[in-house]
Structure 1
Amino acid sequence: MVKGLDWDDLRLVLAVVREGTLSGAARRLDVTHSTVFRRLGAIEAGLGARLFERFRDGYVPTPAGETAAASALKLEEEVLFLERRLSGQDLRPFGTVRIATTDTLSEMLMRHLPAMRRVHPDIQLEITISNTMANLTRREAEIAIRPTPDPPEILVGRRVAGIAHAVYGSHAYLSGRQDEALAGHDWIGLDDALGHTVIAAWMRQTLRAARLTCRVDALPALRDAALAGLGLALLPCYLGDRTAGLRRLTPEPLAEPRSALWLLTHEDLRHTARIRATLDFLAKAFAGERALLEGSEPQPG
């Protein structure tokens, strides 16, 4: 007798397809490797069909497995859609809000969270720090705080402030070298992990023949390398201006590149009480940082 599939079975099949290994699927599902192995065997036995070919380096779906995964993907999209719609009917600012932001904005965010806890004590925050855009459609996060000139069209949000950039160097590095042309300086570059950023685009367009002393994969490391005297770095003003020991090459921020700080969420969640309350608070809090974000706050001496 063929056993019927339930949603948990399909989730497991989809996880194995996505990860290609039982250990990867186990991590995705937050269960043990042995649980995935046992359940997959039971699913195949109940269906009377082999869903995966087993190889030394992983699992590859059979035609039956591909069919099951395609159906699982459609069902997952329906479940996520239903969760978002039902979540949007919540009328109370209560529960967990998942926020994704970058490593450079996390410090600014944390400064305001004690005040938010006082205003909304029934909202619990889960903060994820990542320089990749969280998938809000799949509920990896419910709010994204992002520096970007153009947010994805599938999201809705608020533009809080512009983000200005300037060229920074350590006091020791800039001593006696401030009048040199940009291309004559040593520079700290970005590796491919940050190749999509406006900073990387500006460097490709402006500094094609510049000397790079090193490359880094995170903006805090870019700041730290400049602070150590390895060369100049293009930084957002909210990061460079607050770093004692760095100063701008020019008094004013550069005209380009420009970006903006956005608070983003999914259309289906924007009217949820806890999401709306969090967005309202953060919009006001970050608006108070406008001078720092737009490069008009005086630098420390």
Structure 2
Amino acid sequence: MRERSGYVPTAAGERMMAEAAEMEGRIQTLERDVIEGDAAPAGPVRLTTTDTLFDGVLASILGALRQRHPAITLEVAISNETYSLSRRQADLAVRPMTNPPEALIAQRLGRIAMAPYVAAGEESRTSSTWLGLDDSVYFPALSAWMQSQGIDDSGWRIDTLLGLASAVRRGAGAALLPCYLADADPALVRIGEPVPELATDLWLLVHPDLRRVARVRAVRDAIGHAIEAETVQARLAGRAGQAF
């Protein structure tokens, strides 16, 4: 439309310009996704997980991943505190939890079972001192179950499950431990069935903006495929454990 000051867009023209700008943005996003998706996996990937999951499951998986993708640099943050993927404190997370954050892409990997264990050679004892987790570890289901069974863990409380397993291994007493960790340890013996109330879902989490980045996708796929294997699923669920 022409005015004294020159040509100005009509209302229809303004709508067309806005739609064109929006389309250009979509094309640029698509091009970026294609480039990142087709790029060879290379560069740093920061993964956060717990000490027990790293020791009992992920260390061997990540070792095999490094052989397949030597250009990927793995940065593993082992902590029982949850890192924020939304604030990019990590690219991926492998953690047990009840409800994963809705803002993240969550892949359920399996279900973790827990059962009671003592040190090998101690399984015939009629009674044992019970060890528990420190209050700094958020696991209300464990505290509730121990209270319901009349178990007193006031004499021994440790702030990591890996530390708890170490204390049991050395004959300090009995404790509830993840089956995937304790069943593989010849120094530990299971003295009871897995406790259904303590089973927890295991999740692989990634930020939506990183799902197509080649290096992140390679790590995510390697972890997911390895843990989906029946042998690993059996270990997580306590089906590959020791007889008692």
TM-score (norm 1): 0.63
Deviation at 1:292, TM superposition (A): 0.9
Alpha-carbon displacement from aligned partner over 1:169-217 (angstroms, at most 9, x marks no partner):
123433241xx6xxxx4210211221346434433x4245525331111
The aligned counterpart of 2:6 is none
Asked whether 1:240 is paired with 2:189, we answer no
Conserved in 2, the CA contact under 8 Å of 1:165 and 1:256?
no
Distance in 2, matches of 1:296 and 1:213, equals 31
Asked whether 1:256 is paired with 2:197, we answer yes
The aligned counterpart of 2:62 is 113
Asked whether 1:150 is paired with 2:91, we answer no
Question: What is the 5 A alignment of 1:1-301?
Answer: 89=33, 90-91=36-37, 92=39, 93-107=41-55, 108-177=57-126, 185-196=128-139, 198-203=141-146, 205-208=147-150, 210-250=152-192, 252-288=193-229, 289-299=232-242
Cα gap change, 1:273 to 1:265, in 2 (>3 Å): same
Distance in 1, matches of 2:239 and 2:174, equals 21
Distance in 2, matches of 1:200 and 1:272, equals 40
Deviation at 1:275, TM superposition (A): 1.5
Q: Which amino acid aligns with 2:133?
A: L
Identity %: 41
Distance in 2, matches of 1:198 and 1:209, equals 14
Distance in 2, matches of 1:154 and 1:261, equals 17
Distance in 2, matches of 1:118 and 1:225, equals 34
Conserved in 1, the CA contact under 8 Å of 2:168 and 2:175?
yes
Q: Which amino acid aligns with 1:97?
A: V
Q: Which amino acid aligns with 1:168?
A: Y
Distance in 1, matches of 2:140 and 2:131, equals 15
Distance in 2, matches of 1:197 and 1:119, equals 40
Higher RCO by CA contacts (8 Å cutoff, separation 6 or greater): 2
The aligned counterpart of 1:41 is none
Distance in 2, matches of 1:207 and 1:191, equals 18
Conserved in 2, the CA contact under 8 Å of 1:149 and 1:258?
no
Distance in 1, matches of 2:149 and 2:103, equals 34
Distance in 2, matches of 1:286 and 1:201, equals 29
Cα gap change, 1:208 to 1:290, in 2 (>3 Å): same
Alpha-carbon displacement from aligned partner over 1:237-274 (angstroms, at most 9, x marks no partner):
01111121211112x32222111221101122122222
Conserved in 2, the CA contact under 8 Å of 1:168 and 1:235?
yes
Q: Which amino acid aligns with 1:187?
A: W
Q: Structure 2: which 5+ residue stretches go unaligned?
A: 1-28
Number of residues paired by the alignment? Answer: 208
Q: Structure 1: which 5+ residue stretches go unaligned?
A: 1-84
Deviation at 1:234, TM superposition (A): 0.6
Q: Which amino acid aligns with 1:268?
A: D
Q: Which amino acid aligns with 1:94?
A: A
Conserved in 2, the CA contact under 8 Å of 1:195 and 1:201?
no
